[in-house]
Structure 1
Amino acid sequence: MTVPEHFTRFAAIDWSGAKGHRHKGIAVALCEAGSAAPELVAPPRGVWSRTDVLHWLKAQADTPLLVGFDFSFAPPWIERKAYLPGEITPSTARAFWAYVDADCPDADLGAASFLERRRGAHFYLGARDGAKAQFLHYRRCEAAYNASGIGRASTLYDAIGAAQVAKASFAGMRLLHHLGSTIPIWPFDPPPVHGALVVEIYTTVGARAAGLRKGLSKLRDSHALDAALEALGSGRHTPLDRYDDHATDAIMAAAWLRRVARTPELWQPPALAPTIRRSEGWTFGVL
């Protein structure tokens, strides 16, 4: 695979699967080539909706933008040869995104009802669903990440608790479906020679690259954020009105993405076989 070298703009999006139309948990940070710190992108209507993010992203399609989302682009497929064993579903990620979208009446690209209708059968939403251990299935990239010692990925079948990524990820799959062919999505699509590209990221990978230790990767003040940015080759940030995990994660991740965007091995993970590429995808930055 050829390493893309045309990107001069880098964005990271801290995502949300919360119910409703506006989500304080969404933050978009953007930076240009060079060393200037990423800046938060102002939401068009005060607080981001997922639909607003979709529209913003589509408007960037022809720009040299590499953008990372912090949700999982597909559930595990390799481990059990099915996304939802016992339920007839597609076996490729793009077709599965369409399957999820068609079964979600939720507002603003939400997907909570998709999980709630399948609780106990596929998703863990509480003690009455049985032992959580029976829901712990992982993609191959998640298994590689868990083995790396960098952090611990959550399974998409665990939909309860502060660390869960299930609701955000299934909402994200709806966004990817509606994005369609407007922007390529790696690794399901090859990187383009011009224009934008979407990748999946873990903000924790950027935090480790910035020197933050396990359990201390959340930045909640200006000094900590500037120190992390400096470690990533970035200048000081413009002071924020509020320092929350969403804003600081997005800013730090955008700086990290700029720093590593031309690293050849990140575009060619050793375990990224064709079947994984089609069905599960991969998290950029995990080897």
Structure 2
Amino acid sequence: MTRRFERFAVIDWSGAKVARPPGLAVAFAGEGDAAPQLLGDRNWSRGRILDWLKRLARRKAPVLIGLDLSPSLPFVDRGAFFPGWDESPPDAKALWAMVDELSAGDEHLSVSSFLQHRQAKRYFRLQNDCGDLFGEGRGRLRLCEERQKAAGLQPYSCMNLVGAAQVGKSSLTGMRVLHRLAGEVPIWPFDPIPEEGPLIVEIYTSLAARLAGVPKGRSKTVDPDDLDRRLAHFDSAPHRRLARYTDHATDAILTSAWLRRAAEEERLWKPPLLDGEVARTEGWTFGVL
């Protein structure tokens, strides 16, 4: 194992333009087989999660944190995030800074201003407004998303911001958070794995669901008994019953149980296609080979 962690957290993210997006959920698991528990209440905001992550850093908490969003945009396929734009950032960290700067006036760490920028918007498919540089089909994919697709998963392009399944807004709001964590919480594989303290990795909750036996074509489970059956795939004890079941809560619970086991697999930390350029620009989804 690359490094030992004592706790495992998963954050189910949301890009909704409100103070407390209902899609935000955090689950926490300790070592061994204890069932993950939801952390806090249903009043998470992106700002509160940012503060919580910074507290973990100050305490040097040995926590591996799975963040359910894409921390970057496609780069490898065209040699740039925004081909043809002379201000296209050279790497992911510069991209995070750009998104945060252009959205500085937006409340709740949202990204409306970035998506209204006259040049940036040309690369995205927005509601009733497809940018002339979006390209064809469903949109560009990162290299790790191409690998997800080859494995039978159904990744969505972060350049597509239309539809209930779109992940672009979540990813862009997440980039604002990652930018504000710079120097405090390392993010794999953009940063080296630290000897102590927390570490963030990108995760894909549908991958955990598939490995837990959730049938293809259905990546969610909100039934308590079914959730326990899925947790058992990762040697986890049954969960403590919730007052209210949502797919966000169960995604976080199930994926944190998976992350606890996956972190022990050395090969998952060394995907064959993860070279220096990919690590610097696009990053990688932990668990994808």
Q: Same fold (TM over 0.5)?
A: yes
Write the distance in 2 (CA, Å) between the matches of 1:17 and 1:116. 16
- 3-state DSSP of counterpart to 1:204: helix
Q: Is the 8 A contact 2:114 2:121 kept in 1?
A: no
Residue 114 of structure 1: aligned partner: 114
Cα distance, 1:260 vs. partner? 0.9
Instruction: Tell me which of 200, 203, 218 is aligned to 1:201.
Output: 203
Counterpart residue identity of residue 75, structure 2: W
Cα distance, 1:112 vs. partner? 3.2
Write the distance in 2 (CA, Å) between the matches of 1:252 and 1:145. 19
- 3-state DSSP of counterpart to 1:157: coil
Q: Is the 8 A contact 2:11 2:65 kept in 1?
A: yes
Residue 15 of structure 1: aligned partner: 13
Instruction: Tell me which of 120, 143, 147 is aligned to 1:144.
Output: 147
Instruction: Tell me which of 225, 228, 231 is aligned to 1:226.
Output: 228
Residue 78 of structure 1: aligned partner: 76
Counterpart residue identity of residue 137, structure 1: R
Residue 55 of structure 1: aligned partner: 51
Instruction: Tell me which of 26, 29, 42 is aligned to 2:27.
Output: 29
Cα distance, 1:134 vs. partner? 5.0
Cα distance, 1:91 vs. partner? 1.1
Unaligned runs of 5+ in 2: none
- 3-state DSSP of counterpart to 1:20: coil
Write the distance in 2 (CA, Å) between the matches of 1:218 and 1:134. 26
- 3-state DSSP of counterpart to 1:198: strand
Counterpart residue identity of residue 147, structure 1: A
State, as a whole percentage, how many aligned pairs show the same letter. 47
Write the distance in 2 (CA, Å) between the matches of 1:262 and 1:89. 37
Map 1:1-287 to 2 at 5 A.
3-43=1-41, 47-61=43-57, 62-87=60-85, 88-104=87-103, 105-117=105-117, 121-129=122-130, 133-134=136-137, 136-149=139-152, 151-287=153-289
Counterpart residue identity of residue 111, structure 1: V
Change (3 A) 1:74 1:128: closer
Q: Report runs of 4+ in structure 1 exceeding 6 Å deviation.
A: none
Counterpart residue identity of residue 145, structure 2: E
Q: Is the 8 A contact 2:13 2:170 kept in 1?
A: yes
Write the distance in 2 (CA, Å) between the matches of 1:234 and 1:5. 21
Change (3 A) 1:7 1:139: same
TM-score for both structures, normalised by structure 2:
0.93
Change (3 A) 1:135 1:99: farther
Write the distance in 2 (CA, Å) between the matches of 1:116 and 1:155. 19
Unaligned runs of 5+ in 1: none
Please, which moves more after superposition, 124-133 or 217-226?
A: 124-133
- 3-state DSSP of counterpart to 2:122: coil
